[in-house]
């Protein structure tokens, strides 16, 4: 039982004045006796591992480790997972609602904070922790039973949770998970679909359906449901990219490109994601898409001429001489004395029978490096 007046409270925010402000409000309310501050999720996690708190109040967006990432760690830890957590956020859009459900947040509060709102949320959260609803009791008991290895017993508890709250999608989703764990894909599919139909923002159900269909090698349905998960929550962008990589390994490269494009379109950092996907594509002989992604970076990020040679190499492998020459010439503008670039250009010019241009590049090489045997050999071949 949590004693609301004497409880220990961990306050997590990257702004120290916000931590102090929340502590001040809690003292006005008469809530809490011991207060600790952390300035990002990682600091908070380290403090909790040293000494648990009765409750945590954490900001949503923080450097190093976000509030949601902290929540995921808490919920995965047997000693900490039942700790009530309230999340503070500047906005409540569809993505945040979905992430709140996925990370199992107890309550979230919109900024700016007021004493009244904070007091109401904290009081409700502590009351719910001290007197959990039947559905929560059954779900927690199911988790304990599952961890003991009794999946059938866990299913019985989740069915009881479903009876206790027929309108909640969570019991249906958990049944899907337990049947999946048993290898009963038919019932897993049934309950995951039920959860998704009950709650159109149940991103976990959509993602797990994607995983289930992938395991069944039903690629079209796997893509369909993973696409829905990505559309609901950008946190699923990385999962979508990983799924795309799996499709590449299955030689379903065009389907993978579709997923990659979707992930890029909703990513918070599309440049970094483009570069990650481009590198993967080049490693897996998807030269055209990889080159296009890198070309976008070059066009939109000043100073990224380090990618020009990689783009040129990709087009060379595609036998696209025109684009290979284009990017080699652009690279040459930034690396004027690089003899390797000039020799590559000379070879391409010779290949397309542009002897004068090849001759010019080879003369440039010899002027820079008179003893360059490769340039002299090519020069004699170009006569």
- C-alpha 151/C-alpha 181 separation (Å) is 8
Per the rule left: phi > 0, alpha: psi between -120 and 50, beta: everything else, 319 is: left
Residue 102 has pLDDT above 60, yes or no: no
Closest CA to 287 of 329, 326, 322, 253: 253
pLDDT reading at 71 higher than 90:
no
Q: Give the CB-side neighbour count of residue 298, counting CA atoms within 13 A.
A: 19
Q: What is the pLDDT of residue 91?
A: 66
Find the mean pLDDT for residues 245-264: 92
Cα end-to-end span (Å), the chain: 91
- Give the residue with greater pLDDT, 236 vs 150: 150
Q: Is the dihedral of CA 191, 197, 203, 207 positive or negative?
A: positive
Tell me the percentage of the chain whose pLDDT exceeds 90. Answer: 71
- pLDDT > 60? residue 229: yes
Q: State the average pLDDT over residues 132-160.
A: 94
What confidence tier does 239 reach under pLDDT thresholds 50, 70, 90? Answer: confident
Domains of the chain: residue spans and CATH: 8-130 (3.40.50.2300), 132-194 (1.25.40.10)
The predicted pLDDT at position 201 comes to: 80
Read off the pLDDT band of 105 (50, 70, 90).
Answer: low
> What CA–CA distance (Å, rounded) separates 175 from 189?
10
Q: Which is more confident, 214 or 291?
A: 291
pTM: 0.72
pLDDT tens readout for residues 172-215: 999 999 999 999 999 999 999 999 999 888 888 998 999 999 88
Q: How far apart are CA 328 and CA 326, in angstroms?
A: 6
CA distance 172 to 166: 9
């Amino acid at each position: 039982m949590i004693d609301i007046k004497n409880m220990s409270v961990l306050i997590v925010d990257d702004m120290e004045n916000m931590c102090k402000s929340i502590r001040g409000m809690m003292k006005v309310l008469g809530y809490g006796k011991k207060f600790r501050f952390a300035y990002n999720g990682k600091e908070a996690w380290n403090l909790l591992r040293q000494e648990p708190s009765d409750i945590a109040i954490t900001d949503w967006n923080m450097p190093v480790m976000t509030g949601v990432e902290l929540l995921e760690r808490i919920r995965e830890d047997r000693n900490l997972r039942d700790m009530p957590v309230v999340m503070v956020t500047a906005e409540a859009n569809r993505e945040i609602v979905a992430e709140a459900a996925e990370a199992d947040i107890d309550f979230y509060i919109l900024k700016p904070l007021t004493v009244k709102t904070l007091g109401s949320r904290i009081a409700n959260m502590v009351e719910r922790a001290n007197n959990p609803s039947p559905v929560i009791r059954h779900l927690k008991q199911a988790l304990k039973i599952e961890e003991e290895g009794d999946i059938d017993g866990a299913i019985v508890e989740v069915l009881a949770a479903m009876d206790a709250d027929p309108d909640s999608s969570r019991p249906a989703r958990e049944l899907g998970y337990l049947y999946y764990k048993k290898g009963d894909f038919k019932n897993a599919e049934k309950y995951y679909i039920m959860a998704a139909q009950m709650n159109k923002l149940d991103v976990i159900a959509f993602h797990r359906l994607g995983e289930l269909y992938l395991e069944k090698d039903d690629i079209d349905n796997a893509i369909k449901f993973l696409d829905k998960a990505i559309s609901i929550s950008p946190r699923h962008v990385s999962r979508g990219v990983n799924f795309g990589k799996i499709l590449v390994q299955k030689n379903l490269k065009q389907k993978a490109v579709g997923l990659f494009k979707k992930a890029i379109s909703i990513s918070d950092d599309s440049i970094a994601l483009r570069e990650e996907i481009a590198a993967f594509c080049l490693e897996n002989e998807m030269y055209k898409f990889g080159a296009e992604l890198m070309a976008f970076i070059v066009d939109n990020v000043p100073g990224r001429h380090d990618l020009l040679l990689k783009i040129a190499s990709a087009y060379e492998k595609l036998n696209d001489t025109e684009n290979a020459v284009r990017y080699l010439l652009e690279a040459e503008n930034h690396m004027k004395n690089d003899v390797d670039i000039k020799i590559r250009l000379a070879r391409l010019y010779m290949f397309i029978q542009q002897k004068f241009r090849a001759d010019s590049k080879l003369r440039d090489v010899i002027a820079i490096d008179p003893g360059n045997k490769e340039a002299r050999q090519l020069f004699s071949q170009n006569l």
